[in-house]
């Protein structure tokens, strides 16, 4: 009995050690090198990279190109799987690694042609941005070359290695971001369905750009305060439930076939629009779940202790791990910027330098239209 217990203990201990070794091999071994020196053959001068307690890189270089190359290497250290995943999404190549489950996503993005557009734009770049993107790509590629046997866990699980990085990959990811923030296809389709079943006025209420909860904090001296500028979302002078649920949703008249409105023909929303609303919610569940949105505001220097203006910029997107943003501080001749970059892009797109801070938010502009095409049965290539 004692021998059995002893052997069992040895086996259990061996399995624990083996599990720890496997975990180290697949999970901890690919983690980025934070100390020591690394040789990058494209650098013209030495580059220093420090990290703070949160892992944010501080890159100091003697040239902008060296800074971009180092940033590409460092970002690949931290986000190589994310980089490869995003470029695959943008170029419609997910199914190459994930199989048939992502075919429809690939079809959508290949139809949009973001990869083809990026390849074309990469050949027309001005010299300065071209050099930056090429330097950044060199940094990513050198990390891949140096870590063929120490790639992030996801590559081991899926059994493939990433292809070299190209400037066109950076442009394709930028196109993916534009598409993500400006894509209103589902909204356009759902609005058309509601319009067909319930009328344009009610579709306008359900798809209103302005919220009945919106109120200006500071009045506009050019707008009279006599109620003449009141909108349909606040149809009366009372601050009541009407303001939360626009009257037009419940009180709009249903047009007769002859175009005239009937005072008694307005149906209850729960009977007339229930199915349309259910379909709309189902089709838009992803948009509602994501809850995308951003905000920003500025305080004048006249109202601050330092006399300098304050900028607050919150660019929150869908929650993911890791975040879509990558924080970095980059210093080079003529550059001292700290802020956030997109995966696959050098420098920062939101942040500040020694003189000014800048930011942006999605303004929700309507930049997309859909058309129903009718094909010619006699000539399938015509519509």
**Euclidean distance between CA atoms 162 and 148, whole angstroms:** 9
Strands 350-352 and 335-341, by their bridges, are: antiparallel
For 326, phi then psi, to 5°, come to -130, 115
Residue 230's CB is within 10 A of a number of other CB atoms, namely 11
- How far apart are the C-alpha atoms of 295 and 361, rounded to whole Å? 6
On whether the CB atoms of residues 269 and 250 are closer than 8 A, the answer is yes
What pLDDT sits at residue 12? 67
pLDDT truncated to tens, each residue of the chain (383 aa)? Answer: 666 566 666 666 666 666 666 665 556 666 677 788 888 988 999 999 999 999 999 999 999 999 999 999 999 999 999 999 999 999 999 899 888 888 988 998 999 999 999 999 999 999 999 999 999 999 999 999 999 888 888 888 888 899 999 999 999 999 998 888 877 777 788 888 888 888 888 888 887 766 666 665 555 555 555 444 444 444 444 444 444 333 333 333 333 334 444 444 444 433 343 344 434 434 444 554 445 567 888 999 999 999 999 999 888 777 778 888 999 999 999 999 999 999 999 999 999 999 999 998 877 777 788 888 888 888 888 88
DSSP 24: I
Among 372, 361, 374, 382, CA closest to 181: 361
Contact 342, 327 (CB under 8 A): no
Q: Would you state the pLDDT for residue 170?
A: 97
Q: How many CA atoms lie within 13 A of 203 on its CB side?
A: 16
For 28, the 3-state DSSP assignment is helix
- Give the model's pLDDT for residue 27: 65
**In this structure, is the dihedral angle defined by the CA atoms of residues 173, 174, 178 and 181, taken in order, positive or negative?**
positive
pLDDT at 275: 46
Give residue 127's Cα distance to chain centre.
28
Residue-range domain boundaries for the chain: 214-289
Q: Give the pLDDT score at 180.
A: 80
pLDDT in the model for residue 239: 42
CA–CA separation, 132 and 335 (whole Å): 13
In the sheet with 326-332, reading across from the earlier edge strand, the strands are 48-51, 57-60, 326-332, 335-341, 350-352, 357-358
> For residue 45, which phi and psi values (nearest 5 degrees)?
-140, 170
- Please choose, from the candidates 188, 185, 142, the residue with its C-alpha nearest in 3D space to the C-alpha of residue 165: 142
**Contact indicator for 311, 47 with CB cutoff of 8 Å:** no
**Dist. CA 95–CA 297, nearest whole Å:** 42
Pairwise CA distance, residues 250 & 239, whole Å: 17
Nearest CA-CA partner of 137 in 83, 97, 177: 83
Helices and strands (DSSP H and E) totals, the chain: 15, 8
C-alpha 368 chain-centroid distance: 18
**Is residue 366 within 8 Å of residue 358, measured between CB atoms?**
no
């Amino acid at each position: 009995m004692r021998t059995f217990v002893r052997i069992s203990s040895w086996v259990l201990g061996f399995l624990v050690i083996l599990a720890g070794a496997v975990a180290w091999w697949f999970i901890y071994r690919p983690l980025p090198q934070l100390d020591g020196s690394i040789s990058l053959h494209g650098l013209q001068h030495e580059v220093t990279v420090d990290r703070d307690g949160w892992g944010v890189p501080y890159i100091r270089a003697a040239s902008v190109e060296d800074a971009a190359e180092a940033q590409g290497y460092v970002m690949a250290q931290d986000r190589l799987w994310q980089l490869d995943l995003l470029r695959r999404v943008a170029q419609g190549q997910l199914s190459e690694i994930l199989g048939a489950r992502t075919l429809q996503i690939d079809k959508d993005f290949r139809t949009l042609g973001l990869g083809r557009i990026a390849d074309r734009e990469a050949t027309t770049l001005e010299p300065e941005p071209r050099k930056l993107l090429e330097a950044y790509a060199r940094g990513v590629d050198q990390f891949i070359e140096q870590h063929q046997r120490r790639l992030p866990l996801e590559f081991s699980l899926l059994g493939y290695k990433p292809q070299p990085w190209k400037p066109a990959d950076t442009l394709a990811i930028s196109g993916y971001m534009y598409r993500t923030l400006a894509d209103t296809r589902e909204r356009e389709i759902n609005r058309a369905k509601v319009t067909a079943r319930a009328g344009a006025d009610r579709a306008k209420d359900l798809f209103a750009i302005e919220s009945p909860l919106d109120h200006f904090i500071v009045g506009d001296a050019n707008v009279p305060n006599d109620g003449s500028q009141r909108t349909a979302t606040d149809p009366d002078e009372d601050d009541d439930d009407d303001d939360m649920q626009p009257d037009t949703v419940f009180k709009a008249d249903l047009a007769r076939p002859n175009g005239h409105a009937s005072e008694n023909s307005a149906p209850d929303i729960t009977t007339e629009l229930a199915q349309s609303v259910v379909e709309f919610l189902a089709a838009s569940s992803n948009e509602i779940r994501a809850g995308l949105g951003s905000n920003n505001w500025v305080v004048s220097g006249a109202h601050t202790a330092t006399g300098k203006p304050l900028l607050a910029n919150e660019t929150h997107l869908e929650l993911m791990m890791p975040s879509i943003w990558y924080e970095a501080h980059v210093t080079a001749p003529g550059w001292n910027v700290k802020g956030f970059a997109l995966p696959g892009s050098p420098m920062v797109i939101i942040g500040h330098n020694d003189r000014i801070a800048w930011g942006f938010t999605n303004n929700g502009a309507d930049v997309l239209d859909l058309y129903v095409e009718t094909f010619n049965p006699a000539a399938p290539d015509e519509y």
